[in-house]
Amino acid sequence: MSEPEQQEQHLDFIRTRVKSDQASGKNDGRVHTRFPPEPNGYLHLGHAKSICLNFGIAREFGGLCNLRLDDTNPVAEKTEYAEAIQSDVRWLGFDWEERIFHASDYFDQLHAWAVQLIEGGKAFVCDLTFEEMRQHRGTLIEPGTNSPYRDRPIEENLELFEKMRLGEFSDGSKTLRAKIDMASPNLNMRDPVIYRIIHQDHPKTGDKWKIYPSYDFAHGQSDSLEGITHSICTLEFEHHRPLYDWFCQNLGIHHPQQIEFARLNLNYTVMSKRKMLRLVQEGQVKGWDDPRMPTLQGMRRRGYTPKSIRDFCEKVGVAKRDNVIEVELLEHCLRHDLNLCAPRRLGVLDPLKVTIINYPDEQVEQVDAVNNPEDPDAGTRPVSFSKHLYVDRNDFMEDPPKKYFRMSPGREVRLKYAYYITCSEVIKDAEGKITELICEYDPESRGGDTPDGRKVKGTIQWVDASSAKPCEVRLYDRLFKAPDPDKVEDGGDFTGNLNPDSLQTIGSALVEKSVTDMGTGKPFQLERVGYFCIDPDGQESGNLVLNRTVAMRDSWAKANK
């Protein structure tokens, strides 16, 4: 009921168009989109925007969305990538049902259409080399010149194309070109290559083909065959639209509408496969799923939730102008979701020993800790408390500044869910480094309140020394130190802007015992510290390794900058 109402406001330009097409009865009111990645790498946040757009539009308008692997070039494509793509789309929360297709499913039809074009005098086999073709193409301001092979008789074209198909020519020696207009201001229309010779096996079709269709000859026709109504792609394909239209028209087939939108950019990171590949190859990151990478696999390992990414994609909007989104928006979406769903636990990154002198030596008790204040149904859990504890080193200052609420000598603070304590003595080593805090507790304050209603300004987290689990914690910061990694001094490239401190490893953190029960990759909050999840890394060694997904917002730290 309320759904159409919500859609009424703020439709982006693509949805506005889809809506009007549907209203006017175009395509019999059908809406059918597709997400068509090339299986030559891993999906990243930019793809997520496209996935959310295509699947989202289909859902909102009662239509369908296909998953299509655009596998027209066997040189770079691998089954490994195709599988990762499917896993990532599913993880993001979308379902293509039985509609997964491959451009290679259409190779026979595409070939037949190429023959049809030749027979109609609209395509020809060209013997120009790569270099010669470049020279004939002309420039941005000058028209090109016709290939000397352009007027080859139809019969000869048919014969040569057949020999190309049979593998009788070497790679690059011949191409099949559409016969359009060498003087067109749009370079894509200057007799584009539609089939090239590639003697390489294809992951799907094996050694059946020695010739493969180009993107331009495959994409629109694949859309057409699948009955796509709106073919949504990024801005760089704008100049290809006339070609897309030309093939549909000249082949006399169903003609989907191509619509272009601006791709997503995020500051402090890179969003191109090419650059990510370099980071992986040069060992700047540990792999495609490094938690610092903007790949879906990296974000997943880092602890991002699918919902937060979908929410982000919705919030960035869809338009045609170039954009750079601030990471703060992504982090906002992340924290917003995590705050609602992540269970709370206690942990200290930089442990400082605390001994409560007036607490019975051998006593151990269980205090109740709230699992999630945002979700009463999450209940509570028992956490053990005893004479020997650890707190975080940055929660104590011997000589605190004015608005510091945490521990300092003589100031009473609350150990969350446990007792009020007051530091009475600071113990240091020979170098003057604080090694231990001697404190006194108020037995009346169990649970965190006192009968006299006395208030404390500071509440800090802690762990019980005997039961806490040691773990390794990986803290991540932005991958690049510059908002725009591509903006470099002369002679450098984007790798010069890498942030040397993007990964900080803490070897000796302590977390409450129940953290061990969290499954790998499941987000939880270490109260006052941030959101974390268990990394697959410590699995085999039996060690506990945590990734910090994102820190808590910290207005105290910000105020002290």
Residues 11-30 that bind RNA (CB under 7 A): 11-13, 16
Q: Which parts of 255-274 interact with RNA (CB under 7 A)?
A: 262
The catalytically annotated residue of 177, 273, 292, 411 is 273
Question: Could you identify the residue written with the tokens 């020993």?
Answer: 353
Binding mask 47-86 for RNA (x = CB under 7 A): -----------------------x-xx-xx----------
Q: Respond yes or no: is residue 561 known to be catalytic.
A: no
Nearest CB to RNA, comparing residues 10 and 433: 10
Task: Compute how many other C-beta atoms are within 10 angstroms of the C-beta atom of residue 214.
Answer: 19
- 443 SS3 class: helix
Give the three-class secondary structure for 82: helix
The yes or no reply on residue 139 touching RNA (CB under 7 A) is: yes
Tell me the per-residue interface mask from 148 to 187 with RNA, x by CB under 7 A, - otherwise.
-----------------------xxxxx---------xxx
User: How far is it, in rounded angstroms, from Cα 350 to Cα 507?
Assistant: 10
Decide whether 329 or 434 has the Cβ nearer to RNA: 329
State in angstroms the smallest separation of the CB of 537 from RNA.
25
CB of 314 to RNA, least distance (A): 10
Residues 6 or more apart whose CB falls under 8 angstroms from that of 77 comprise 38, 39, 40, 71, 202, 203
Respond yes or no: is residue 263 known to be catalytic: yes
Q: Is 559 exposed, middle or buried (0-12, 13-18, 19+ CB in 10 A)?
A: exposed
Q: Which two tokens stand for residue 106?
A: 């259409």
Residues near RNA (CB under 7 A), total: 92
Of residues 461-520, those binding RNA (CB under 7 A): none
**Among 317, 409, 521, 538, which residue interacts with RNA (rule: CB under 7 A)?**
317
Residue from 128, 349, 463, 473 in contact with RNA (CB under 7 A): 128
Site string for RNA, 368-397 (x = CB under 7 A): ----xxx-----------------------
In the complex with RNA, the residue whose CB is nearer, 219 or 230, is 219
Residues numbered 520 to 539 that lie near RNA (CB under 7 A) are 525, 527-528
Active site residue 273: yes
Tokens 């001697």, residue located: 438
38, 88, 223, 392: residue in contact with RNA (rule CB under 7 A): 38
426 binds RNA (CB under 7 A): no
Measured distance CA(314)–CA(288) in Å, rounded:
25
**Smallest separation, CB 55 to RNA (Å):** 18
* DSSP output for 47-76: HHHHHHHHHHHHHHTT-EEEEEE----TTT
- Determine contact, residues 321/350, Cβ cutoff 8 Å: no
Q: Tell me how far apart the terminal alpha carbons of the chain are, to the nearest angstrom.
A: 49
At how many degrees (to 10) do helices 306-316 and 45-60 cross? 80
Tally the residues of the chain. 561
Q: Which residues are catalytic?
A: 38, 263, 273
